[in-house]
Structure 1
Amino acid sequence: MQNHTEKAALLVMDMQNGIVSRFAENKEVLLPIQKALASARKHNIPVIFVRVGFSEGYPEVSPRNKAFTSIANQGGMTTSDKATQIHELFKPQENEPVVTKYRFSAFTGSTLELILRSRQIDSLILSGISTSGVVLSTLREAADKDFSLTVLSDACIDGDPEVHRVLTEKVFPRQADVLTVDSWINTLS
Structure 2
Amino acid sequence: MFDAMSPALLIIDMQNDFVASGAPIRCPGATDICGSIDELRRTARTAGIPVIFTQERHRAEMVDFGLELEYGEPLHCLEGTAGPDFYPALTPEAGEFVVPKRRYSAFFATDLEILLKGLGVDTLILTGVATDVCVRATAQDAQQLNYRVFVVPECVAGTTEARNEAALDNIAYVFGSILPAREACTLLSSTSANPRLSKADRGAPGATRSAA
* TM-score, structure 2 normalization: 0.77
Secondary structure, aligned partner of 2:64 = coil
Equivalents in 2 of 1:171, 1:29: separation in Å?
A: 21
CA distance, structure 2, for counterparts of residue 140 and residue 155 of structure 1:
18
Instruction: Provide, for residues 33-79 of structure 1, a one-character-per-residue CA deviation record: whole Å limited to 9, x for no partner.
Output: 122122111211110100111123122222x33368854xx4x6223
**Is the partner of 1:88 in helix, strand or coil?**
coil
- In structure 2, relative to structure 1, the CA distance for the partners of 1:145 and 1:78 (3 Å cut) is same
Q: Indicate how the Cα distance of structure 1 residues 25 and 146 shifts in structure 2: closer, same or farther if over 3 A, else same.
A: closer
Alignment partner, residue 20 of structure 1: 19
Question: In structure 2, what is the Cα distance between the partners aligned to 1:124 and 1:34?
Answer: 16
User: Aligned-pair distance for 1:26?
Assistant: 7.5
Structure-2 residue corresponding to 1:60: 64
Q: What is the CA–CA distance in structure 1 between the aligned matches of 2:71 and 2:52, rounded to whole Å?
A: 23
Structure 2 partner of 1:130: 130
Q: Which structure features the higher share of helix residues?
A: 1
The question of whether the paired residues in 2 share the 8 Å contact of 1:61 and 1:69 is answered with no
Aligned pair count? 183
- Deviates most, 24-33 or 94-103: 24-33
Residue number in structure 1 paired with 2:170: 171
Question: Which residue does 1:36 correspond to in 2?
Answer: 40
TM-score by length of 1: 0.85
**Shift in alpha-carbon separation, 1:92–1:114, aligned structure 2, 3 A:** same
Q: Deviations over 1:136-175 (max 9, x none)?
A: 000001111000111111101013212222332x322232
User: Partners of 1:29 and 1:129 in 2: how far apart?
Assistant: 10
User: Which runs of 5 or more structure 1 residues have no equivalent in the other structure?
Assistant: none
Q: What is the percent sequence identity of the aligned residues?
A: 23
Question: Does 1 or 2 have the higher relative contact order (CA < 8 Å, sep 6+)?
Answer: 2
Distance 1:24 1:88 in 2: 17
d(CA) in 1 for partners of 2:71 and 2:87?
Answer: 21
CA deviation map 1:67-97 (0-9, x unaligned): 68854xx4x6223431101122112112212
Matches within 5 A, 1:100-111: 100-111=100-111
Cα displacement (A) at 1:186 = 2.6
Give the aligned partner of residue 90 of structure 1: 90
- Alignment partners' CA distance in 2, 1:25 and 1:105: 21
Unaligned runs of 5+ in 2: 21-25, 191-212
RMSD: 2.3
Secondary structure of residue in 1 paired with 2:183 = helix
